Copies of this chain bind each other. A is one copy, B any other.
């Protein structure tokens, strides 16, 4: 590669999105790239010419190691979607102007569905207007809902956090219930795909029975059947733990979290802000049974708990960033790096580059064959798929008892 490169981070951060930046930086330096720039707050900051020089931060290996252990988006993120090209040519020209100013030959963008759309739009514009720059997508999403790739960097760490926390609060719930059952309802992220909620099943082992039921957004939620099942569980066990996705919906399309209270917030991509469905269900169960019922929301911690990140995930996040640079160096553009699984036992995974047109704006749900027949749990197919992704640990660097992070000067 002759020129410089730039890397950006977009959308909801993950525990390992910085490891992808470390991968991009490391590969570029191996190839002799002079300057590796970072977009400050993604494409939104980039369009305003807000860049930083990553070399000022990653000047030795310990800094790269620290970046891999730093949660959230080191460069800053954004939720900005590139507008359609027609009528917005000035915005695209501005992007290329910034690239020319910094002699940027390739642009790397870490993100999910919406971010891959940015790569598609920029590479389409470049192709249509004879621009030299290359554009590569680096997959990142705790939601694990990108198509083509076997899984998405960010998912393994979120799943490890969810499985670990689920197991710890199942343990907590089991310590009571001497006279009456105690019921715990845990709300897990995932708007349309149940990958994160499914991770609750990974708490199962010979020392833990896992949640008693897992309600995925892939399955229509039936309130009556739910109440019946909870009552049945409460009649047979002293500790009842239920995992529900924030995105569960009734047959008429209503989100459960919207029942009884308006939730009209939408984010910059037009997605509804969901939350509160565990609280609502816990309230209903308490009313119907008179039993002690608690609601827990894992919330933002699912995407930011780098202290319990999966080593497999950290390494793969690094790899997709690294390999995106190699692909761009080979002349590829308008593609995303995918993770291609070659085996489960032992787990093996490689990468390749795939046309981003088949990836942007497509969401992949959990395969129906991994959901148990009653629709309330995951089977061995899912566990075999997910277990390797949460394997391994990378100890944080603790200072004064808390993990230390690498931070950008503001």
Give the B-binding residues of A (Cβ under 8 A).
Answer: 9, 13, 41, 44-45, 70-73, 76-79, 160, 163-165, 167-169, 171-176, 178-179, 184, 202-203, 205, 207-208, 294, 296-297, 299-301, 303-308, 310, 387, 389-393, 395, 398-407
- Chain B nearest CB from A299 CB (Å) reads 5
Choose from B172, B178, B389, B391 the contact partner of A71 (Cβ within 8 Å): B172
Given contacts A203-B402, A205-B402, contact A13 B164 (CB under 8 A): no
Contact (Cβ within 8 A) B405 A207: yes
CA distance A401 to B394 in the complex (A): 12
Contact (Cβ within 8 A) B405 A401: no
Given contacts A168-B71, A171-B70, contact A207 B406 (CB under 8 A): yes
Contact (Cβ within 8 A) A172 B402: no
- Copy total for this chain: 2
Contact (Cβ within 8 A) B405 A400: no
CA distance A165 to B164 in the complex (A): 14
- Chain B nearest CB from A340 CB (Å) reads 21
Contact (Cβ within 8 A) A77 B176: yes
Specify the chain B residue showing the minimal Cβ separation from A163: B402
CA distance A305 to B167 in the complex (A): 10
Contact residues in B for A203 (Cβ distance below 8 Å): 402
Contact (Cβ within 8 A) B41 A178: yes
CA distance A303 to B73 in the complex (A): 28
Contact residues in B for A168 (Cβ distance below 8 Å): 71-72, 301, 304-307, 403
